[in-house]
Amino acid sequence: MTIVTAAWLIVVAGFWGATNPFIKRGSKGIESIKESSPFKQFIAELLFLITNWKYLLPFLINQAGSVLYYITLASADLSLAVPITNSLTFIFTAISGHLLGERIESKKTIIGMLLVVCGVTLCVLDKIS
């Protein structure tokens, strides 16, 4: 794995993690949709989401991250690609949520995030050297 591939995987994690809190916020209100049948419920919820730019824009950015992930997998070591993107997605989600006003409840969470970054760094350094 090259440093460039690792950087692209970090970008993917950023796309996924940064958009998660926005997708959550954009989907607020969907729980109040009530229809008479499961099919009508599905259609009403789908229309709610695809006509709501606060949901749709972060969702499309998130999906662009998925396309980039798929492209990057061609040159990535799979045993590193999955842990890098999944663990760093958690960190980007926590940071984005915090920037939007969500609280990080515990110092243990911050310590865990730092340990994840250290672990990912060690894994990448091991593979590129």
- pLDDT tens by residue, 19-65: 999 999 999 999 999 999 999 999 999 999 999 999 999 999 999 99
CB-CB contact of 49 with 62 (8 Å): no
Q: Are 32 and 108 in contact (CB under 8 A)?
A: no
Listed in sequence order, the DSSP H helices in 1-129 are: 3-26, 38-50, 53-72, 78-99, 107-128
Contact 58, 22 (CB under 8 A): yes
Per-residue pLDDT at 112 exceeds 70: yes
Average pLDDT over residues 60-89: 92
pLDDT band at 129 (very low <50, low <70, confident <90, very high): low
How many residues does the structure list for the chain?
Answer: 129
| Residue 128 pLDDT class (50, 70, 90 cuts) | confident
Residue 83 is predicted with a pLDDT of: 86
Q: What's the confidence (pLDDT) of residue 1?
A: 66
Give dist(CA 128, CA 110) in Å, integer. Answer: 27
CA-nearest of 73, 67, 82, 72 to 123 is 82
pTM over 0.85: no
* C-beta separation of 17 from 89 below 8 A: yes
